[in-house]
C-alpha cells in the first residue's frame, strides 16, 4: 500500500515540475516576443517621424511589390 502511495506522489510531483517548466517557457517566449514587438513599433515610429508616414508607406509598398 505504501509503495502505491509513493508512486502516485512521485508522479504528481513530476507532473507539477513539468507544468512549471512549461509555464516558465511560455512566459519567457511571450516576454521575448513582447520585447521584439515593442522594438519593431519603435522602429516604425522612428521611420514615420523621420521620413513621414506617406514616404514610409510608399517605401514599404515598393519593397513588398519588388519595385
Q: Which element (helix H / strand E) includes 46?
A: helix 2-51
Between 3 and 32, whose confidence is greater?
32
DSSP state of 67: -
Please state the domain count of the chain.
1
pLDDT in tens, 8-48: 555 555 567 788 889 999 999 999 999 999 999 999 999 99
Confidence of residue 67 (pLDDT cuts 50, 70, 90): confident
Residue 62 has pLDDT above 60, yes or no: yes
Cα 18 → chain centroid: 20
CA distance 65 to 55: 15
Q: From residue 12, how far is each of 1, 18, 26, 40 by CA, in Å?
A: 17, 10, 21, 42
pLDDT of residue 23: 92
pTM above 0.75, yes or no: no
Amino acid at each position: 500500500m505504501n509503495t502505491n502511495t509513493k508512486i502516485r506522489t512521485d508522479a504528481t510531483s513530476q507532473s507539477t515540475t513539468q507544468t512549471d517548466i512549461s509555464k516558465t517557457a511560455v512566459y519567457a517566449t511571450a516576454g521575448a516576443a513582447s520585447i521584439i514587438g515593442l522594438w519593431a513599433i519603435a522602429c516604425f515610429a522612428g521611420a514615420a517621424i523621420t521620413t513621414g508616414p506617406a514616404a514610409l508607406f510608399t517605401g514599404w509598398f515598393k519593397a513588398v511589390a519588388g519595385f
